[in-house]
Structure 1
Amino acid sequence: MTELHLAAVLIVRDEAEHLPACLESLTGVADEIHVYDTGSSDGTPDLAAAAGAVVTRGTWRDDFAAARNEAVAGVDATWVLAADADHRVTADPAALRRFLAAGPAPALLVEVEDEHHSGPYRQLETRLYRPAEARWTGRVHEHLVRADGSIPARATVPDDVLRLRHLGHATYADRIRRAERDVALARTTLDELTAQGPRADRRQVAATLLALGRDWAAADRHQSAVDTFETLRELFPGTPEWVQATDGLARLVLASGYDKLCLVLVEQLREAGADPSYCDWLAAQALAQLGDPHEAALLLAGVTEVVDTAGRRRDPATLREITALVHRLQSLAPLRR
């Protein structure tokens, strides 16, 4: 195939509530839409077919990468947009085609606005790729690799050309259910790596521990998350995963009221080279909770945006709200002499 051909490919299961709006948002963006159903019982495949999507039925094998690769196996396209049913797509179709035709890298980062339960944020995710040059790997939190296992070169799609919005989970129970599923998959991956002994890829072990810690936190199993992050920190000092685990740990202890411990972890993040503004953001919240809103306000005065160690950019409204709260506390607290 020589002409540019873009296919949107989704893996779904029981997504009757979300899928129609997703497919509608893809209309005019992709040349064709493929829906790979892994066992729905709510009529999802029929809804997809009625909307004009090519529907394939498969079996769920507790492996997201395997499902994505199977979904793409029968697709004849130069580019694939890997979307989910709870995504909403905003695009300039003509500009997107010009961008793809210009021959960018084989894997493309797309801005995703995530309506997370802890507050909205934006981050870059690999969502567009050339299927002839990359495939998915990873039972959970899957990512793209080349045939030799290396990470493909990546470029970023401008957000005025293409961006996605990821809906938050409708209910607390749904969030916990999905997080517990991801915990189970991450633990299976960790068991497989452990069984390899010294032959296991250390970077993959670190990445799996990081994912597991985050999944425990999302499942509201905070002690399990703390234990996992601490294990990672002990085994993999000086790595990017160590930095992100320390960040996750700092936010957990901050939310639990262990503010002095949070300040210790923030100093460790500073020493590791984390963004100073982000460290100030964390420290300011801990100081405010410790009863020192004046010092907290001084730190926040230099913070113009909040970007965590994983590159997630918090909604500016969150910064404004915290700053306003600190200023309110400052007005009520006497100055320390």
Structure 2
Amino acid sequence: MVQPSVSLVMIVKDEEEMLPRCLSSVKEFVDEIVVVDTGSTDSTPEIARSFGAKVYFHPWEDNFSKHRNQSISYATGDWFLVMDADEEILPETGHLIRKAIREVDFDSIMFYVISLYAGGRKAFHTQQRLFKNHQGIHYEGRIHNKIIGVKSTCIYPIHILHHGYNVSQEKARSKHERRIRILNKELESSPENPRIYHYLSAAYMAVPDYGESLDKALKALDLAEKAGKISDPFFAWTFYIAVNSLCELNRQEEAERICKKGLVLFPDDPDLNFLLNRIFFETRRFKELRMAGKSYLSLYFSLRDLKRIQKPIHWVTFDLSWKVPWFLAMSLSESTDARQRNSLLKQAAQMAGNWGDIYHATARYKMAQGRYLSAERDLIKALERKSNDLGIIYSLLEVYIHLGDEVKEIETWEKLLLLSHESRQRAPQEIRRALSQGRTNDAQKLLLALVRACPTHGSVPEVIVEYLEHSSDILNHNEVWHTAIKTNNRIKQAILDKGFYFLSSGNLEKSTQIFRKIIAADPSEPAARLGMAVVLWIDGDVESMAKELDNLLDIMNFPIDKEITSLEELRTLFAIIAELFYEHGDKKAATFASQLASRLSCCTNSSHIP
């Protein structure tokens, strides 16, 4: 018996990072790979060809369906498999592709698409991905393309992992802007199409912009109702977006009304059932919560095994399902209902797959009640189980700010900066904002953490200089500056420059503090010795000044065994020191020493140093 052939059809652009993983996951299960490239400037075409793909080039036209149809037109297989570069077939299910096309008597097959989000969260939905090569079959819709011409479909337990939501903020922003642009263009030609408003609402919720997502979702539901399409299972997702947006906007009464309307149409929708539980919990209607929670858990366990799902589904809150037993646990007394409460927390942990989320959620609940010491204990337990979870670390920061524990606050900032590139990038801006708002103490804590965590960060020297314009108290933290000055020469130079600025401005207290700090951290720094010598001279401590100048000359390998007794001799010495600094490439210190020599030349009339 001849096996039906399968063609993988794709559209790509600049996908050199993702494409190898995608093609590696599926190459053994298809007979042909067809790729339409819409303008790559990287090595995407070469990568595709290395997997045996036929690559065709078409300029991007802001229309996904048009390019999907182009890819189909080049394919020759009996079946078409549609995938994107940011997806992969799970290895334990890929072999089922051949089995499915042999067994089913349908012209399309739905897969389970599991979408991964930043922070490890996931959601899933069913989607047509494999369909027969029928004449007239095609896609419609500029962005959320829909297959037209398929007459029958079934669900098969083949799993696709979608990585497209787990991307950098910059890439996510670019995708969002493109999505909104294309949908608005599509709206111009189909202003009464509820699906376009739905997809706009989904795009805005992903940002998130809950005001816009609510507006677009309500418009979609209104149009769907007027068109008699409101009972289409597709719009269960729209109800979810509307209700979730209202919850996030703290409009629970409206959220409950729309949620219940959606549940009349879609009583088994897991997302709407989840939101109803959330609404009852947030409005503290615990009796209704217990009834809704029992119903939800029954639904959850019937859907948890994906193989048992026999109809299309979109389950956004799949990874949040554990919150329902957690809601129920929080509705019980810690003292009188301890056993039942702990049992529910254990169930929540089993559903979440870890205790870290449970401890974190419980801590946030206690923080809202002002129980910060108890919350701290839960957060420490959470961090023991999820040591790199940024959300937990941010919550700990909030706790220590409320408790006024500055030592632990700085330590927590340091941990956050070590873990998060985004936090390291934002830290200098936050320090500057705090300084501009007069929150010097907040700026100091974050700056100390930044210097401890990443002293070589490019913005650190400039931020230190800006901080010193407001206060020099940060220099009291010796252990920080010893490390920073030795690690980053730019930090040392920035602080030196500030010291000479204060000295030139007559601020001896701040300049003295800076020069002594640098000498303590790096005794061989000649510029700090120069600054300190001048401070001592101005203070009238000539003997100590002479010792500093001797130290400076020894460091620069130019010892002078001669006592300085006149201003002329001191002028000559500063001129020599200026030349030495020029030779060592320190133009700023050289200029400062040269200016001192010039000033002394005006008052050397046989004056003697006392």
Q: TM-score range by the shorter chain?
A: 0.7 to 0.9
Structure 1 residue aligned with 2:116: 115
The CA deviation string for residues 281-312 of structure 1, in whole angstroms up to 9 with x for no partner, is: 212111222234454244212213458x9822
Which has the greater radius of gyration? 2
Structure scoring higher RCO (CA < 8 A, sep ≥ 6) equals 1
Q: Any conservation in 2 of the 1:176–1:218 contact (CA below 8 Å)?
A: no
> Secondary structure of 1:236's match?
helix
- Relative distance call for 1:296 and 1:334 in structure 2 (3 A) is farther
Structure 1 residue aligned with 2:152: 153
Instruction: Check if 1:97 corresponds to 2:98.
Output: yes
Letter paired with 1:138: G
**Cα distance, 1:109 vs. partner?**
0.9
- Relative distance call for 1:115 and 1:281 in structure 2 (3 A) is same
Q: Which sits farther off after the overlay, 111-120 or 49-58?
A: 111-120
- Relative distance call for 1:97 and 1:88 in structure 2 (3 A) is same
Structure 1 residue aligned with 2:167: 170
**Cα distance, 1:277 vs. partner?**
5.9
The CA deviation string for residues 25-83 of structure 1, in whole angstroms up to 9 with x for no partner, is: 01211112222211111211112222332222221111001001111222211111100
Structure 1 residue aligned with 2:190: 193
The structure with the greater share of residues assigned to helix is: 2
- Relative distance call for 1:4 and 1:277 in structure 2 (3 A) is closer
Structure 1 residue aligned with 2:144: 141
Structure 1 residue aligned with 2:220: 232
- Relative distance call for 1:329 and 1:180 in structure 2 (3 A) is farther
Q: Which sits farther off after the overlay, 11-20 or 45-54?
A: 45-54
The CA deviation string for residues 156-197 of structure 1, in whole angstroms up to 9 with x for no partner, is: 22x1xx221111331233223212211211111110124xxx
- Relative distance call for 1:226 and 1:68 in structure 2 (3 A) is same
Taking the TM superposition and a 5 Å limit, the aligned residue runs for 1:1-337 are 4-90=4-90, 95-102=96-103, 104-116=105-117, 119-133=121-135, 134-146=137-149, 151-157=150-156, 159=157, 162-167=158-163, 168-194=165-191, 205-237=193-225, 239=230, 240=232, 243-275=236-268, 278-293=271-286, 295-304=288-297, 305=299, 311-313=313-315, 317-331=319-333
- The CA distance in 2 between the partners of 1:32 and 1:251, in whole Å, is 42
Letter paired with 2:106: A
**Cα distance, 1:94 vs. partner?**
5.5
- The CA distance in 1 between the partners of 2:17 and 2:333, in whole Å, is 47
- The CA distance in 1 between the partners of 2:23 and 2:269, in whole Å, is 41
- The CA distance in 2 between the partners of 1:271 and 1:285, in whole Å, is 18
Q: Which sits farther off after the overlay, 11-20 or 311-320?
A: 311-320
- Relative distance call for 1:285 and 1:145 in structure 2 (3 A) is same
Q: Any conservation in 2 of the 1:180–1:219 contact (CA below 8 Å)?
A: no
Q: Any conservation in 1 of the 2:114–2:123 contact (CA below 8 Å)?
A: yes
Q: Any conservation in 1 of the 2:36–2:58 contact (CA below 8 Å)?
A: yes
Q: Any conservation in 2 of the 1:112–1:122 contact (CA below 8 Å)?
A: yes
- Relative distance call for 1:226 and 1:313 in structure 2 (3 A) is closer
> Secondary structure of 2:7's match?
strand
> Secondary structure of 2:28's match?
coil
- The CA distance in 1 between the partners of 2:174 and 2:333, in whole Å, is 43
- The CA distance in 2 between the partners of 1:329 and 1:265, in whole Å, is 24
Letter paired with 1:81: L
- Relative distance call for 1:288 and 1:172 in structure 2 (3 A) is farther
- The CA distance in 2 between the partners of 1:140 and 1:333, in whole Å, is 54
> Secondary structure of 1:52's match?
coil
**Cα distance, 1:272 vs. partner?**
3.2
- The CA distance in 2 between the partners of 1:311 and 1:290, in whole Å, is 28
- Relative distance call for 1:117 and 1:285 in structure 2 (3 A) is farther
- Relative distance call for 1:120 and 1:252 in structure 2 (3 A) is same
TM-score, normalised to structure 2, is 0.48
Letter paired with 2:183: A
RMSD: 2.8
- Relative distance call for 1:98 and 1:264 in structure 2 (3 A) is closer
- The CA distance in 1 between the partners of 2:235 and 2:3, in whole Å, is 44
Structure 1 gaps, min length 5 = 195-201
> Secondary structure of 2:167's match?
coil
> Secondary structure of 1:33's match?
strand
The CA deviation string for residues 238-263 of structure 1, in whole angstroms up to 9 with x for no partner, is: 51366543321101111222222211
Letter paired with 2:211: Q
Q: Any conservation in 1 of the 2:281–2:327 contact (CA below 8 Å)?
A: no
Letter paired with 1:4: P
The count of corresponding residues between Structure 1 and Structure 2 is: 317
- The CA distance in 2 between the partners of 1:19 and 1:90, in whole Å, is 15
Q: Any conservation in 2 of the 1:176–1:220 contact (CA below 8 Å)?
A: no
> Secondary structure of 2:144's match?
coil
Letter paired with 1:319: S
Letter paired with 2:33: I
- The CA distance in 2 between the partners of 1:258 and 1:74, in whole Å, is 51
Q: Any conservation in 2 of the 1:175–1:218 contact (CA below 8 Å)?
A: no
The CA deviation string for residues 78-122 of structure 1, in whole angstroms up to 9 with x for no partner, is: 111100111111365654324313453222211111114594122
TM-score, normalised to structure 1, is 0.83
- Relative distance call for 1:328 and 1:39 in structure 2 (3 A) is same
